[in-house]
Chains A and B, each alone.
Chain A
Amino acid sequence: MKILVVDDEQDITTLFQQRFRREIREGVFEFSFKYSGEEALAFLQEHEHEAILILSDINMPGMSGLELLRRIRLNAPLPPPIIMMITAYGDKDNYDQAMRLGANDFLNKPLDFNSLKEKLITLQ
Protein backbone atom coordinates (compact mmCIF):
# COMPACT_ATOMS: atom_id res chain seq x y z
CA MET A 1 0.00 0.00 0.00
CA LYS A 2 1.35 3.39 -0.95
CA ILE A 3 1.21 5.98 1.83
CA LEU A 4 2.00 9.67 1.55
CA VAL A 5 3.01 11.39 4.79
CA VAL A 6 2.84 15.19 4.87
CA ASP A 7 4.45 17.05 7.79
CA ASP A 8 6.72 20.05 8.10
CA GLU A 9 8.86 18.20 10.67
CA GLN A 10 11.52 16.47 8.59
CA ASP A 11 12.41 13.96 11.28
CA ILE A 12 8.99 12.40 10.80
CA THR A 13 10.66 10.50 7.92
CA THR A 14 13.18 8.77 10.15
CA LEU A 15 10.46 8.10 12.68
CA PHE A 16 8.12 6.40 10.22
CA GLN A 17 10.94 4.47 8.60
CA GLN A 18 11.92 2.99 11.93
CA ARG A 19 8.40 2.48 13.26
CA PHE A 20 7.40 0.62 10.12
CA ARG A 21 10.80 -0.96 9.60
CA ARG A 22 9.44 -4.49 9.23
CA GLU A 23 6.45 -3.53 7.07
CA ILE A 24 8.67 -1.51 4.76
CA ARG A 25 11.23 -4.33 4.53
CA GLU A 26 8.47 -6.80 3.79
CA GLY A 27 6.97 -4.44 1.22
CA VAL A 28 3.64 -4.12 3.00
CA PHE A 29 3.78 -0.34 3.04
CA GLU A 30 5.54 1.99 0.72
CA PHE A 31 6.05 5.50 2.21
CA SER A 32 6.60 8.82 0.52
CA PHE A 33 7.30 11.93 2.56
CA LYS A 34 6.50 15.56 1.75
CA TYR A 35 7.19 18.54 3.99
CA SER A 36 4.47 20.94 2.95
CA GLY A 37 0.99 21.04 1.43
CA GLU A 38 2.35 22.52 -1.76
CA GLU A 39 4.92 19.75 -2.20
CA ALA A 40 2.26 17.15 -1.47
CA LEU A 41 -0.10 18.56 -4.13
CA ALA A 42 2.68 18.60 -6.70
CA PHE A 43 3.60 15.03 -5.81
CA LEU A 44 -0.01 13.89 -6.12
CA GLN A 45 -0.31 15.41 -9.57
CA GLU A 46 2.79 13.58 -10.74
CA HIS A 47 1.84 10.28 -9.18
CA GLU A 48 -1.90 10.07 -9.84
CA HIS A 49 -3.67 6.87 -8.82
CA GLU A 50 -0.67 5.79 -6.83
CA ALA A 51 -1.10 6.96 -3.29
CA ILE A 52 -4.19 5.55 -1.84
CA LEU A 53 -3.63 6.74 1.70
CA ILE A 54 -2.57 10.18 2.84
CA LEU A 55 -1.47 11.05 6.37
CA SER A 56 -1.29 14.82 6.78
CA ASP A 57 -0.40 17.16 9.57
CA ILE A 58 -2.77 20.11 9.91
CA ASN A 59 -0.43 22.80 11.26
CA MET A 60 2.15 23.56 8.67
CA PRO A 61 3.58 26.81 7.46
CA GLY A 62 2.17 27.83 4.14
CA MET A 63 -0.65 25.63 2.97
CA SER A 64 -2.28 23.97 5.95
CA GLY A 65 -3.34 20.32 6.10
CA LEU A 66 -6.99 21.32 5.92
CA GLU A 67 -6.37 23.34 2.80
CA LEU A 68 -4.55 20.39 1.30
CA LEU A 69 -7.51 18.16 2.18
CA ARG A 70 -9.93 20.62 0.60
CA ARG A 71 -7.95 20.80 -2.60
CA ILE A 72 -7.57 17.06 -2.94
CA ARG A 73 -11.30 16.58 -2.45
CA LEU A 74 -11.95 19.43 -4.89
CA ASN A 75 -9.85 17.78 -7.60
CA ALA A 76 -11.49 14.44 -6.70
CA PRO A 77 -8.89 12.07 -8.16
CA LEU A 78 -9.98 8.51 -8.79
CA PRO A 79 -9.89 6.32 -6.84
CA PRO A 80 -10.48 8.81 -3.97
CA PRO A 81 -7.61 8.43 -1.52
CA ILE A 82 -8.13 7.77 2.16
CA ILE A 83 -7.06 10.86 4.03
CA MET A 84 -6.19 10.91 7.73
CA MET A 85 -5.52 14.21 9.45
CA ILE A 86 -3.00 14.50 12.26
CA THR A 87 -2.78 17.41 14.64
CA ALA A 88 -1.42 18.51 17.98
CA TYR A 89 -4.53 20.62 18.44
CA GLY A 90 -7.17 17.93 18.67
CA ASP A 91 -10.06 20.27 19.45
CA LYS A 92 -13.60 19.99 18.19
CA ASP A 93 -13.28 22.85 15.72
CA ASN A 94 -10.39 21.21 13.95
CA TYR A 95 -12.11 17.85 14.03
CA ASP A 96 -15.41 19.19 12.65
CA GLN A 97 -13.69 21.09 9.90
CA ALA A 98 -11.60 18.09 8.89
CA MET A 99 -14.68 15.89 8.77
CA ARG A 100 -16.68 18.43 6.85
CA LEU A 101 -13.92 18.67 4.25
CA GLY A 102 -14.01 14.91 3.80
CA ALA A 103 -11.32 13.44 6.05
CA ASN A 104 -11.60 9.73 6.76
CA ASP A 105 -9.97 9.85 10.15
CA PHE A 106 -8.60 12.29 12.68
CA LEU A 107 -5.52 11.44 14.72
CA ASN A 108 -3.95 13.30 17.62
CA LYS A 109 -0.30 13.99 18.17
CA PRO A 110 1.64 12.35 19.70
CA LEU A 111 0.83 9.52 17.33
CA ASP A 112 0.09 6.12 18.78
CA PHE A 113 2.00 4.07 16.22
CA ASN A 114 0.61 0.73 17.36
CA SER A 115 -3.00 1.75 16.80
CA LEU A 116 -2.03 3.49 13.55
CA LYS A 117 -0.38 0.28 12.38
CA GLU A 118 -3.52 -1.70 13.20
CA LYS A 119 -5.68 0.78 11.36
CA LEU A 120 -3.48 0.67 8.28
CA ILE A 121 -3.38 -3.11 8.27
CA THR A 122 -7.19 -3.32 8.53
CA LEU A 123 -7.50 -0.92 5.64
CA GLN A 124 -5.33 -3.14 3.56
Chain B
Amino acid sequence: MEPNVMDIITKTLITVGVMKYLRNYLETSVRLPQWDIILKYAWVGVLILIGLATAFSINIINDKFYYLLLFIVAYIIYQSRDYRSARLLMVAVSPMLAFVILNDSLKFLTPQFYQSYNSFFSFAESFTIFWLLGFGIYAQKQNKREKLQKIKDDEERRLLEAQKNELEFLVSERTAEITKQKEELESTLAKLKATQDQLIQSEKLASLGELTAGIAHEIQNPLNFVNNFAELSVELVKELNDEITKNTIDKDLIENLMHDLTQNQEKINHHGKRASSIVKGMLEHSRKSTGVKEPTDINALADEYLRLSYHGLRAKDKDFNATMETHFETPLSKVEVIPQDMGRVLLNLINNAFYAVSQKAKTLRSLSAEQQIENNRELYEPTVTVSTRYLAPPLGLKGAGCVEIRVKDNGIGMPDSVKAKVFQPFFTTKPTGQGTGLGLSISYDIVTKGHGGTLEVNTKEGEYTEFIIKLP
Protein backbone atom coordinates (compact mmCIF):
# COMPACT_ATOMS: atom_id res chain seq x y z
CA MET B 1 0.00 0.00 0.00
CA GLU B 2 2.91 2.20 0.74
CA PRO B 3 3.93 2.86 -2.89
CA ASN B 4 0.26 3.42 -3.83
CA VAL B 5 -0.15 6.16 -1.28
CA MET B 6 3.02 7.78 -2.55
CA ASP B 7 1.71 7.37 -6.10
CA ILE B 8 -1.60 9.02 -5.23
CA ILE B 9 0.14 11.91 -3.49
CA THR B 10 2.56 12.39 -6.39
CA LYS B 11 -0.20 12.36 -8.98
CA THR B 12 -2.31 14.76 -6.95
CA LEU B 13 0.59 17.14 -6.43
CA ILE B 14 1.50 17.01 -10.11
CA THR B 15 -2.12 17.73 -10.98
CA VAL B 16 -2.14 20.66 -8.56
CA GLY B 17 1.15 21.96 -10.04
CA VAL B 18 0.09 21.56 -13.66
CA MET B 19 -3.32 23.13 -13.08
CA LYS B 20 -1.81 26.04 -11.15
CA TYR B 21 0.63 26.56 -13.96
CA LEU B 22 -2.12 26.49 -16.57
CA ARG B 23 -4.45 28.74 -14.63
CA ASN B 24 -1.70 31.21 -14.11
CA TYR B 25 -0.35 30.99 -17.62
CA LEU B 26 -3.63 31.05 -19.50
CA GLU B 27 -5.31 33.47 -17.11
CA THR B 28 -8.32 31.21 -17.10
CA SER B 29 -9.99 33.18 -14.32
CA VAL B 30 -10.37 35.96 -16.87
CA ARG B 31 -10.46 34.16 -20.18
CA LEU B 32 -12.24 30.91 -19.44
CA PRO B 33 -14.05 31.37 -16.12
CA GLN B 34 -16.14 28.20 -16.65
CA TRP B 35 -12.92 26.18 -16.93
CA ASP B 36 -11.15 27.90 -14.12
CA ILE B 37 -13.24 26.39 -11.39
CA ILE B 38 -12.77 22.94 -12.88
CA LEU B 39 -9.02 23.39 -13.07
CA LYS B 40 -8.88 24.79 -9.58
CA TYR B 41 -10.49 21.74 -8.04
CA ALA B 42 -9.26 19.18 -10.57
CA TRP B 43 -6.87 17.80 -8.01
CA VAL B 44 -9.86 16.76 -5.80
CA GLY B 45 -11.30 14.81 -8.71
CA VAL B 46 -7.91 13.28 -9.38
CA LEU B 47 -7.52 12.35 -5.74
CA ILE B 48 -10.91 10.61 -5.71
CA LEU B 49 -10.37 8.99 -9.09
CA ILE B 50 -6.95 7.63 -8.23
CA GLY B 51 -8.14 6.64 -4.77
CA LEU B 52 -11.07 4.68 -6.21
CA ALA B 53 -8.93 3.20 -8.99
CA THR B 54 -6.38 2.01 -6.42
CA ALA B 55 -9.04 0.73 -4.08
CA PHE B 56 -10.71 -1.24 -6.88
CA SER B 57 -7.41 -2.02 -8.59
CA ILE B 58 -8.42 -0.53 -11.92
CA ASN B 59 -4.85 -0.37 -13.09
CA ILE B 60 -5.55 1.19 -16.43
CA ILE B 61 -6.39 4.53 -14.76
CA ASN B 62 -3.26 4.47 -12.71
CA ASP B 63 -1.09 3.43 -15.62
CA LYS B 64 -2.49 5.84 -18.11
CA PHE B 65 -2.99 8.77 -15.71
CA TYR B 66 -0.25 10.88 -17.21
CA TYR B 67 -1.64 10.30 -20.70
CA LEU B 68 -4.98 11.44 -19.51
CA LEU B 69 -3.52 14.51 -17.89
CA LEU B 70 -1.57 15.26 -21.04
CA PHE B 71 -4.70 15.03 -23.22
CA ILE B 72 -6.67 17.19 -20.82
CA VAL B 73 -3.92 19.78 -20.77
CA ALA B 74 -3.70 19.72 -24.57
CA TYR B 75 -7.44 20.13 -24.79
CA ILE B 76 -7.44 23.08 -22.42
CA ILE B 77 -4.61 24.70 -24.37
CA TYR B 78 -6.57 24.07 -27.57
CA GLN B 79 -9.58 25.79 -26.03
CA SER B 80 -7.42 28.80 -25.29
CA ARG B 81 -6.03 28.94 -28.84
CA ASP B 82 -7.30 32.48 -29.30
CA TYR B 83 -4.82 33.59 -26.67
CA ARG B 84 -1.51 34.25 -28.38
CA SER B 85 0.68 32.87 -25.57
CA ALA B 86 -1.29 29.63 -25.63
CA ARG B 87 0.20 28.76 -29.00
CA LEU B 88 3.66 28.80 -27.49
CA LEU B 89 2.45 26.32 -24.91
CA MET B 90 0.98 24.27 -27.70
CA VAL B 91 4.43 24.05 -29.27
CA ALA B 92 5.74 22.85 -25.90
CA VAL B 93 3.11 20.12 -25.59
CA SER B 94 2.72 18.94 -29.21
CA PRO B 95 5.90 16.78 -29.52
CA MET B 96 5.03 14.96 -26.31
CA LEU B 97 1.49 14.45 -27.51
CA ALA B 98 2.65 13.23 -30.90
CA PHE B 99 5.21 10.97 -29.31
CA VAL B 100 2.75 9.43 -26.89
CA ILE B 101 0.26 8.68 -29.66
CA LEU B 102 2.93 7.37 -32.00
CA ASN B 103 4.67 5.44 -29.27
CA ASP B 104 1.57 3.68 -28.07
CA SER B 105 0.07 3.02 -31.47
CA LEU B 106 3.36 1.51 -32.71
CA LYS B 107 3.76 -0.45 -29.51
CA PHE B 108 0.31 -1.81 -30.01
CA LEU B 109 0.32 -2.28 -33.80
CA THR B 110 3.86 -3.45 -34.58
CA PRO B 111 5.48 -4.66 -31.37
CA GLN B 112 8.46 -6.11 -33.29
CA PHE B 113 9.26 -2.90 -34.95
CA TYR B 114 8.81 -1.05 -31.69
CA GLN B 115 11.01 -3.53 -29.87
CA SER B 116 13.83 -3.19 -32.35
CA TYR B 117 13.80 0.57 -32.10
CA ASN B 118 13.23 0.67 -28.39
CA SER B 119 16.29 2.76 -27.63
CA PHE B 120 15.20 5.30 -30.17
CA PHE B 121 11.80 5.58 -28.56
CA SER B 122 13.29 6.02 -25.08
CA PHE B 123 15.50 8.69 -26.45
CA ALA B 124 12.54 10.37 -28.13
CA GLU B 125 10.61 10.15 -24.92
CA SER B 126 13.31 11.91 -22.91
CA PHE B 127 13.65 14.47 -25.69
CA THR B 128 9.94 15.27 -25.62
CA ILE B 129 10.03 15.52 -21.83
CA PHE B 130 12.95 17.95 -21.95
CA TRP B 131 11.31 19.78 -24.79
CA LEU B 132 8.13 20.07 -22.75
CA LEU B 133 9.90 21.25 -19.62
CA GLY B 134 12.27 23.54 -21.52
CA PHE B 135 9.62 25.07 -23.62
CA GLY B 136 7.26 25.27 -20.64
CA ILE B 137 9.82 27.31 -18.70
CA TYR B 138 10.62 29.40 -21.75
CA ALA B 139 6.95 30.01 -22.39
CA GLN B 140 6.45 30.93 -18.75
CA LYS B 141 9.26 33.50 -18.94
CA GLN B 142 8.07 34.79 -22.25
CA ASN B 143 4.57 35.09 -20.91
CA LYS B 144 5.78 36.97 -17.86
CA ARG B 145 7.69 39.36 -20.07
CA GLU B 146 4.67 39.89 -22.26
CA LYS B 147 2.50 40.47 -19.24
CA LEU B 148 4.92 43.06 -17.94
CA GLN B 149 4.97 44.61 -21.37
CA LYS B 150 1.20 44.57 -21.36
CA ILE B 151 1.06 46.21 -17.97
CA LYS B 152 3.48 48.80 -19.24
CA ASP B 153 1.41 49.29 -22.39
CA ASP B 154 -1.73 49.53 -20.31
CA GLU B 155 -0.06 52.12 -18.16
CA GLU B 156 0.92 54.07 -21.24
CA ARG B 157 -2.52 53.73 -22.69
CA ARG B 158 -4.02 54.93 -19.44
CA LEU B 159 -1.65 57.84 -19.50
CA LEU B 160 -2.55 58.61 -23.09
CA GLU B 161 -6.20 58.24 -22.23
CA ALA B 162 -5.76 60.68 -19.38
CA GLN B 163 -3.95 63.12 -21.63
CA LYS B 164 -6.61 62.72 -24.26
CA ASN B 165 -9.30 63.39 -21.71
CA GLU B 166 -7.44 66.43 -20.50
CA LEU B 167 -7.09 67.69 -24.06
CA GLU B 168 -10.73 67.05 -24.75
CA PHE B 169 -11.61 68.97 -21.65
CA LEU B 170 -9.43 71.85 -22.75
CA VAL B 171 -10.93 71.77 -26.22
CA SER B 172 -14.47 71.78 -24.90
CA GLU B 173 -13.56 74.56 -22.50
CA ARG B 174 -12.07 76.57 -25.36
CA THR B 175 -15.06 75.83 -27.57
CA ALA B 176 -17.38 77.08 -24.88
CA GLU B 177 -15.26 80.21 -24.58
CA ILE B 178 -15.33 80.78 -28.33
CA THR B 179 -19.07 80.19 -28.47
CA LYS B 180 -19.51 82.73 -25.73
CA GLN B 181 -17.36 85.21 -27.59
CA LYS B 182 -19.29 84.53 -30.77
CA GLU B 183 -22.55 85.21 -28.98
CA GLU B 184 -21.14 88.37 -27.50
CA LEU B 185 -19.97 89.49 -30.93
CA GLU B 186 -23.35 88.72 -32.42
CA SER B 187 -25.12 90.78 -29.81
CA THR B 188 -22.61 93.58 -30.30
CA LEU B 189 -23.24 93.41 -34.02
CA ALA B 190 -26.97 93.66 -33.45
CA LYS B 191 -26.41 96.67 -31.19
CA LEU B 192 -24.16 98.24 -33.81
CA LYS B 193 -26.79 97.76 -36.46
CA ALA B 194 -29.37 99.42 -34.26
CA THR B 195 -26.95 102.26 -33.60
CA GLN B 196 -26.28 102.57 -37.30
CA ASP B 197 -29.98 102.94 -37.97
CA GLN B 198 -30.16 105.63 -35.31
CA LEU B 199 -27.16 107.39 -36.78
CA ILE B 200 -28.64 107.30 -40.24
CA GLN B 201 -31.80 108.85 -38.87
CA SER B 202 -29.92 111.49 -36.89
CA GLU B 203 -27.72 112.31 -39.87
CA LYS B 204 -30.93 112.95 -41.78
CA LEU B 205 -32.19 115.21 -39.02
CA ALA B 206 -28.85 117.01 -38.95
CA SER B 207 -29.04 117.69 -42.66
CA LEU B 208 -32.61 118.86 -42.18
CA GLY B 209 -31.41 121.15 -39.39
CA GLU B 210 -28.88 122.65 -41.74
CA LEU B 211 -31.71 123.28 -44.12
CA THR B 212 -34.08 124.91 -41.67
CA ALA B 213 -32.78 128.43 -42.12
CA GLY B 214 -32.75 128.00 -45.87
CA ILE B 215 -36.27 126.69 -45.83
CA ALA B 216 -37.44 129.57 -43.62
CA HIS B 217 -35.87 132.05 -46.03
CA GLU B 218 -37.31 130.27 -49.01
CA ILE B 219 -40.77 130.38 -47.50
CA GLN B 220 -40.50 133.95 -46.19
CA ASN B 221 -39.82 135.38 -49.63
CA PRO B 222 -42.96 134.09 -51.32
CA LEU B 223 -45.00 134.92 -48.25
CA ASN B 224 -43.81 138.53 -48.43
CA PHE B 225 -45.00 138.65 -52.00
CA VAL B 226 -48.33 137.11 -51.11
CA ASN B 227 -48.84 139.73 -48.37
CA ASN B 228 -47.72 142.61 -50.56
CA PHE B 229 -49.82 141.70 -53.54
CA ALA B 230 -52.84 141.07 -51.34
CA GLU B 231 -52.47 144.50 -49.73
CA LEU B 232 -52.03 146.08 -53.13
CA SER B 233 -55.12 144.34 -54.42
CA VAL B 234 -57.18 145.83 -51.60
CA GLU B 235 -55.89 149.28 -52.59
CA LEU B 236 -56.65 148.61 -56.25
CA VAL B 237 -60.22 147.60 -55.44
CA LYS B 238 -60.61 150.81 -53.39
CA GLU B 239 -59.39 152.84 -56.37
CA LEU B 240 -61.80 150.97 -58.63
CA ASN B 241 -64.63 151.69 -56.24
CA ASP B 242 -63.74 155.38 -56.17
CA GLU B 243 -63.61 155.44 -59.95
CA ILE B 244 -66.98 153.83 -60.61
CA THR B 245 -68.74 156.21 -58.22
CA LYS B 246 -67.50 159.15 -60.28
CA ASN B 247 -69.81 160.68 -62.86
CA THR B 248 -67.41 160.39 -65.74
CA ILE B 249 -65.78 156.98 -65.80
CA ASP B 250 -62.21 156.70 -67.07
CA LYS B 251 -62.46 153.41 -68.89
CA ASP B 252 -58.72 153.18 -69.55
CA LEU B 253 -57.94 153.58 -65.87
CA ILE B 254 -60.45 150.90 -64.95
CA GLU B 255 -58.96 148.54 -67.51
CA ASN B 256 -55.53 149.29 -66.13
CA LEU B 257 -56.63 148.64 -62.57
CA MET B 258 -58.37 145.44 -63.58
CA HIS B 259 -55.24 144.28 -65.37
CA ASP B 260 -53.09 144.92 -62.32
CA LEU B 261 -55.64 143.22 -60.11
CA THR B 262 -55.61 140.11 -62.28
CA GLN B 263 -51.85 140.16 -62.35
CA ASN B 264 -51.74 140.41 -58.56
CA GLN B 265 -54.06 137.46 -58.09
CA GLU B 266 -51.80 135.47 -60.37
CA LYS B 267 -48.74 136.53 -58.35
CA ILE B 268 -50.43 135.61 -55.09
CA ASN B 269 -51.31 132.25 -56.51
CA HIS B 270 -47.83 131.74 -57.88
CA HIS B 271 -46.03 132.62 -54.66
CA GLY B 272 -48.49 130.63 -52.58
CA LYS B 273 -47.72 127.59 -54.68
CA ARG B 274 -44.02 128.30 -54.40
CA ALA B 275 -44.23 128.31 -50.59
CA SER B 276 -46.29 125.17 -50.49
CA SER B 277 -43.93 123.31 -52.77
CA ILE B 278 -41.07 124.18 -50.43
CA VAL B 279 -43.00 122.87 -47.46
CA LYS B 280 -43.83 119.77 -49.43
CA GLY B 281 -40.17 119.25 -50.23
CA MET B 282 -39.23 119.66 -46.60
CA LEU B 283 -41.82 117.14 -45.50
CA GLU B 284 -40.64 114.80 -48.18
CA HIS B 285 -37.13 115.01 -46.85
CA SER B 286 -37.97 114.52 -43.19
CA ARG B 287 -40.37 111.70 -43.84
CA LYS B 288 -39.06 108.20 -43.40
CA SER B 289 -38.12 106.77 -46.74
CA THR B 290 -40.98 104.87 -48.29
CA GLY B 291 -38.47 102.63 -49.96
CA VAL B 292 -40.67 102.70 -53.02
CA LYS B 293 -39.18 103.66 -56.33
CA GLU B 294 -41.24 105.92 -58.50
CA PRO B 295 -40.62 107.73 -61.77
CA THR B 296 -38.91 110.94 -60.70
CA ASP B 297 -37.92 114.10 -62.51
CA ILE B 298 -34.24 114.23 -61.60
CA ASN B 299 -33.87 117.80 -62.87
CA ALA B 300 -36.62 119.08 -60.59
CA LEU B 301 -35.26 117.13 -57.64
CA ALA B 302 -31.73 118.45 -58.17
CA ASP B 303 -32.95 122.01 -58.63
CA GLU B 304 -35.02 121.91 -55.45
CA TYR B 305 -32.20 120.65 -53.30
CA LEU B 306 -29.71 123.01 -54.90
CA ARG B 307 -31.81 125.99 -53.86
CA LEU B 308 -32.59 124.64 -50.40
CA SER B 309 -28.96 123.91 -49.76
CA TYR B 310 -27.86 127.30 -51.02
CA HIS B 311 -30.22 129.25 -48.82
CA GLY B 312 -29.49 127.02 -45.87
CA LEU B 313 -25.79 127.81 -46.01
CA ARG B 314 -26.50 131.37 -46.87
CA ALA B 315 -28.57 131.79 -43.74
CA LYS B 316 -25.90 130.26 -41.57
CA ASP B 317 -22.96 132.10 -42.99
CA LYS B 318 -23.51 135.75 -43.95
CA ASP B 319 -20.30 135.91 -45.89
CA PHE B 320 -21.17 132.89 -47.89
CA ASN B 321 -21.86 133.42 -51.49
CA ALA B 322 -21.71 131.26 -54.54
CA THR B 323 -22.90 131.02 -58.07
CA MET B 324 -25.24 128.14 -58.80
CA GLU B 325 -25.07 126.79 -62.28
CA THR B 326 -27.31 124.15 -63.69
CA HIS B 327 -26.87 122.29 -66.93
CA PHE B 328 -29.93 120.15 -67.15
CA GLU B 329 -30.57 118.04 -70.20
CA THR B 330 -34.17 118.56 -71.27
CA PRO B 331 -36.25 116.66 -71.73
CA LEU B 332 -34.74 114.05 -69.43
CA SER B 333 -36.74 110.88 -69.12
CA LYS B 334 -37.91 110.15 -65.59
CA VAL B 335 -35.84 107.74 -63.55
CA GLU B 336 -37.13 105.10 -61.15
CA VAL B 337 -35.74 106.21 -57.79
CA ILE B 338 -36.82 106.52 -54.18
CA PRO B 339 -37.26 110.32 -54.18
CA GLN B 340 -36.55 110.86 -50.47
CA ASP B 341 -33.37 108.82 -50.63
CA MET B 342 -32.09 110.33 -53.85
CA GLY B 343 -32.94 113.77 -52.43
CA ARG B 344 -30.71 113.04 -49.47
CA VAL B 345 -27.88 112.05 -51.76
CA LEU B 346 -28.20 115.24 -53.81
CA LEU B 347 -28.51 117.35 -50.69
CA ASN B 348 -25.37 115.77 -49.23
CA LEU B 349 -23.36 116.27 -52.38
CA ILE B 350 -24.57 119.84 -52.90
CA ASN B 351 -24.04 120.76 -49.24
CA ASN B 352 -20.51 119.41 -49.49
CA ALA B 353 -19.94 121.36 -52.69
CA PHE B 354 -21.07 124.62 -51.10
CA TYR B 355 -18.96 123.85 -48.05
CA ALA B 356 -15.92 123.33 -50.26
CA VAL B 357 -16.32 126.63 -52.10
CA SER B 358 -17.02 128.54 -48.88
CA GLN B 359 -13.87 127.07 -47.30
CA LYS B 360 -11.83 128.20 -50.27
CA ALA B 361 -13.40 131.66 -50.18
CA LYS B 362 -12.61 131.91 -46.46
CA THR B 363 -9.00 130.97 -47.00
CA LEU B 364 -8.64 133.60 -49.68
CA ARG B 365 -10.41 136.18 -47.53
CA SER B 366 -8.06 135.55 -44.62
CA LEU B 367 -5.15 136.80 -46.73
CA SER B 368 -4.17 140.40 -46.16
CA ALA B 369 -5.78 143.16 -48.20
CA GLU B 370 -2.77 143.58 -50.45
CA GLN B 371 -2.47 139.87 -51.04
CA GLN B 372 -6.15 139.85 -51.82
CA ILE B 373 -5.75 142.37 -54.56
CA GLU B 374 -2.64 140.73 -55.92
CA ASN B 375 -4.13 137.34 -55.57
CA ASN B 376 -7.19 136.47 -57.49
CA ARG B 377 -9.79 137.08 -54.87
CA GLU B 378 -11.52 139.28 -57.37
CA LEU B 379 -11.30 136.48 -59.85
CA TYR B 380 -12.41 133.66 -57.62
CA GLU B 381 -16.04 132.96 -58.19
CA PRO B 382 -17.29 130.21 -55.95
CA THR B 383 -19.37 128.08 -58.27
CA VAL B 384 -21.39 124.94 -57.78
CA THR B 385 -22.56 123.25 -60.92
CA VAL B 386 -25.17 120.56 -61.16
CA SER B 387 -25.61 118.89 -64.50
CA THR B 388 -27.65 116.01 -65.76
CA ARG B 389 -27.58 114.04 -68.96
CA TYR B 390 -28.71 110.81 -70.47
CA LEU B 391 -26.04 108.28 -71.32
CA ALA B 392 -26.95 105.85 -74.06
CA PRO B 393 -25.71 102.29 -73.62
CA PRO B 394 -22.41 101.60 -75.40
CA LEU B 395 -22.79 100.64 -79.04
CA GLY B 396 -23.75 97.05 -79.59
CA LEU B 397 -25.03 96.66 -76.06
CA LYS B 398 -28.69 96.41 -75.33
CA GLY B 399 -30.16 98.19 -72.35
CA ALA B 400 -31.82 101.38 -71.31
CA GLY B 401 -28.67 103.42 -70.74
CA CYS B 402 -28.41 105.52 -67.63
CA VAL B 403 -28.86 109.00 -66.25
CA GLU B 404 -25.80 110.80 -65.02
CA ILE B 405 -25.85 113.54 -62.40
CA ARG B 406 -22.70 115.56 -61.79
CA VAL B 407 -22.23 117.83 -58.82
CA LYS B 408 -19.10 119.89 -59.30
CA ASP B 409 -17.58 122.67 -57.25
CA ASN B 410 -14.47 124.79 -57.72
CA GLY B 411 -13.67 124.66 -54.02
CA ILE B 412 -10.79 123.34 -51.98
CA GLY B 413 -10.65 119.89 -53.59
CA MET B 414 -9.18 116.90 -51.82
CA PRO B 415 -5.75 115.34 -51.50
CA ASP B 416 -5.55 111.65 -52.42
CA SER B 417 -5.46 110.63 -48.76
CA VAL B 418 -8.86 112.21 -48.21
CA LYS B 419 -10.27 111.02 -51.50
CA ALA B 420 -9.48 107.43 -50.57
CA LYS B 421 -11.51 107.61 -47.39
CA VAL B 422 -14.31 109.83 -48.52
CA PHE B 423 -16.99 107.13 -48.55
CA GLN B 424 -15.94 105.60 -45.23
CA PRO B 425 -18.43 105.96 -42.41
CA PHE B 426 -17.47 108.52 -39.77
CA PHE B 427 -14.73 109.97 -41.91
CA THR B 428 -14.98 113.75 -41.95
CA THR B 429 -12.65 116.65 -42.52
CA LYS B 430 -15.00 119.06 -40.83
CA PRO B 431 -14.27 120.24 -37.28
CA THR B 432 -15.72 118.08 -34.49
CA GLY B 433 -19.43 118.58 -34.12
CA GLN B 434 -19.93 119.95 -37.60
CA GLY B 435 -20.09 116.78 -39.58
CA THR B 436 -21.34 113.34 -38.74
CA GLY B 437 -19.01 111.75 -41.26
CA LEU B 438 -21.95 109.72 -42.49
CA GLY B 439 -23.31 111.85 -45.31
CA LEU B 440 -21.23 110.41 -48.11
CA SER B 441 -21.18 106.87 -46.80
CA ILE B 442 -24.96 106.87 -46.60
CA SER B 443 -25.16 108.48 -50.04
CA TYR B 444 -22.89 105.78 -51.40
CA ASP B 445 -25.10 103.05 -49.96
CA ILE B 446 -28.25 104.68 -51.31
CA VAL B 447 -26.86 104.98 -54.82
CA THR B 448 -25.15 101.58 -55.04
CA LYS B 449 -27.22 99.28 -52.85
CA GLY B 450 -30.53 101.12 -53.06
CA HIS B 451 -30.51 101.94 -56.75
CA GLY B 452 -27.88 99.73 -58.34
CA GLY B 453 -26.01 102.79 -59.56
CA THR B 454 -22.49 104.10 -59.09
CA LEU B 455 -21.07 107.05 -57.20
CA GLU B 456 -17.61 108.24 -58.13
CA VAL B 457 -15.47 111.18 -57.25
CA ASN B 458 -12.93 113.21 -59.22
CA THR B 459 -10.91 115.85 -57.48
CA LYS B 460 -7.83 118.00 -57.60
CA GLU B 461 -6.58 119.52 -54.41
CA GLY B 462 -7.17 123.25 -54.29
CA GLU B 463 -9.10 123.28 -57.54
CA TYR B 464 -12.24 121.22 -57.81
CA THR B 465 -14.26 118.25 -56.69
CA GLU B 466 -16.80 116.44 -58.81
CA PHE B 467 -19.17 113.69 -57.75
CA ILE B 468 -20.73 111.61 -60.50
CA ILE B 469 -23.87 109.58 -59.92
CA LYS B 470 -24.97 107.12 -62.56
CA LEU B 471 -28.42 105.64 -62.26
CA PRO B 472 -29.61 102.80 -64.43
Contacts and interface: CB of A to CB of B under 8 A. Distances in A.
Contact of B323 (A14, A62, A67, A89): A62
A116 to B, nearest CB: 12
Nearest to A15: B228
B225 interface: yes
A88 B217 contact: yes
A89 B225 contact: no
B260 A59 contact: no
A80 interface: no
Contact of B318 (A15, A62, A91, A113): A91
Interface residues of B, number: 25
Contact of A61 (B217, B267, B324): B324
B221 A88 contact: yes
A109 B324 contact: no
A63 B321 CA distance: 7
B276 interface: no
A14 B267 contact: yes
A15 B225 contact: yes
Given A62-B323, A63-B321, A18 B225 contact: no
B411 to A, nearest CB: 16
B74 to A, nearest CB: 121
Interface range on chain A (Cβ under 8 Å from partner): 20 to 34
B355 to A, nearest CB: 17
A59 B314 contact: yes
A4 to B, nearest CB: 20
Given A14-B267, A15-B228, A110-B227, A94 B220 contact: no
A109 B264 contact: no
B324 A15 contact: no
A9 interface: yes
B256 to A, nearest CB: 9
Given A11-B271, A88-B217, A109-B224, A18 B318 contact: no
Interface string B175-192: 000000000000000000
A18 B264 contact: yes
Contacts of A63: 321
Contacts of B232: 15, 18-19
B267 A88 contact: no
Nearest to B224: A110
A89 B216 CA distance: 11
A67 to B, nearest CB: 7
Interface of A: 9, 11, 14-15, 18-19, 59, 61-64, 67, 88-89, 91, 93-94, 97, 109-111, 113
13 contacts: A14-B267, A15-B232, A18-B260, A19-B228, A19-B232, A59-B311, A61-B310, A61-B322, A61-B324, A67-B321, A89-B318, A109-B220, A110-B220
Interface of B: 217, 220-221, 224-225, 227-229, 232, 236, 260, 263-264, 267, 271, 310-311, 314-315, 318, 321-324, 381
